[in-house]
Chains A and B, each alone.
Chain A
């Protein structure tokens, strides 16, 4: 049998169910490998000892009917985990130990999974490179100079380096799909309202969604099935009949209509991306799908709209960090002075920048010109998708405008960093599901992803399309384990 760490999540689950591998064997394998991989800086908090203990407990009384029986999983450090430090990679939450569990992680543990640790991310999930983390940037296992993407950079790095069989991230403007694309992994952002936001450190509440990050499409279907639930603790959670995504997974996409939006052919896009998009169309045709050219005319306005809406919501959400009830505090001469010093010392530069943008666009005299304007354009962007989905079942686009960039390459130019999310942000603004799957390599040998966007709550459809394409693409990346120390 192959090594435990080389098994996909679904394979590991079936091996545990068939009693070929115990939970403790699996957990030990991942703990050992994670310990040898600290140079990637993927973990903010390791819970290895308690994971090993829980795995032994599981093996003594195994419930093999669970969907993730005794499976160790590391999660993004944005999910509140009861009695385990949760920092959102910020100094201001550096000492925060939640007394409750997020709904999404609770769903994982209820289905048998075991927490391996908390994974690094951009501070408050604000970033596209994992360079804004208070705990330092994460290294990509693809190459030592490369960012893993962000904000779920620790999740992507840990997944690609096989430090966890699968992981979960959050996606506000591309934070699951972009790092998945950069690291040759699969990332799914579900429809807004599918996974509960309860217990996830809030960034932009009308955009945030949690989703699976996995080694293949089947694993993503399985993990989504476990994560997604209706939750009274989230007022925007949607009560719909959730399919058994992994059981219903099918490669039959005959007759499906796939839209190719012309506005996603942006200036300066590399030949390789152009080619993998063309290949994608061909694969879909081979599967019996029909390719249709479509138009999403307001695409270019999505990013500026996002950079009003998301900071506005963030400035409001992050007002709670005042040094009073939890988190870090700097003493001051009076209450206001304490607030100002606490927030100045507790937040990093990118977070401050976004709070300032948000405060400005919501401030008296500017609200109509910026915030209200952005909400109106958001409607136009959503209408674009509504119109296109009258004609097609899904949309195929590249996931990112380029492969992973180098550490430090974009960190001094906010706008060029923001442009990285050009293909992912519209999906969040419209609340739709999108999945990125690895599609090929660029000239430098770095992974590139392709994105499939679906109608609201039509995850099964985009999973099926991705599942069909995955076979044809047959993505291979020769992972050299350069970061491991023995």
Chain B
């Protein structure tokens, strides 16, 4: 299965990474060579194999839902890329 330029642009949209034409073409060729190599997995029959999503297969621990950190508003906002350190600021979303 080969990946065409249109698919590359679709993935770039889904990934929220803008690409210029040159980068998109480079990625088209990179992705095709990578996926060609990945295709060897199709040699394996895996119909009845249970997928493995985590190595730690024990049941996830439960814990009390309680507040552990208090008054950390400033800490949370400290690294905001916008000048305003009282809120996270984004471009206008609602007209």
Contact = CB atoms under 8 A, between A and B. Distances in A.
Nearest to B75: A99
B15 A315 contact: yes
Contact of A304 (B40, B55, B82): B40
Contacts of A343: 15-18
Given A340-B16, A376-B46, A357 B31 contact: yes
B62 to A, nearest CB: 10
Contact of B49 (A206, A238, A376): A376
Given A235-B60, A357-B34, A379 B79 contact: no
Nearest to B43: A301
A325 B78 contact: no
B40 A301 contact: yes
A364 to B, nearest CB: 9
Interface string B5-22: 001100110111111000
A344 B18 contact: yes
A431 B55 contact: yes
Contacts of B54: 206, 236
A305 B37 CA distance: 11
* Residues of B contacting A: mostly: loop
B61 to A, nearest CB: 7
B64 to A, nearest CB: 11
Given A327-B79, A343-B16, A414-B30, A375 B53 contact: yes
Interface in A287-339: 298, 300-301, 304-305, 307-308, 315, 319, 322-329, 331-339
B38 interface: yes
A405 interface: no
Interface string B45-60: 0100111111110101
A272 B64 CA distance: 56
Contacts of A7: none
B46 A377 contact: yes
A228 interface: no
B45 to A, nearest CB: 10
B78 A353 contact: no
A301 B41 contact: yes
B23 to A, nearest CB: 8
B14 A325 contact: no
A410 to B, nearest CB: 13
Contacts of B67: none
A360 B31 contact: yes
Contacts of B92: 334
B38 A322 contact: no
Interface of B: 3, 7-8, 11-12, 14-19, 27, 30-31, 33-34, 37-42, 44, 46, 49-56, 58, 60-61, 63, 72, 75-76, 78-82, 88, 90-93
17 contacts: A192-B55, A300-B40, A308-B41, A315-B15, A329-B81, A332-B91, A335-B90, A356-B8, A356-B12, A357-B34, A363-B11, A372-B51, A373-B41, A376-B46, A377-B46, A378-B52, A414-B34
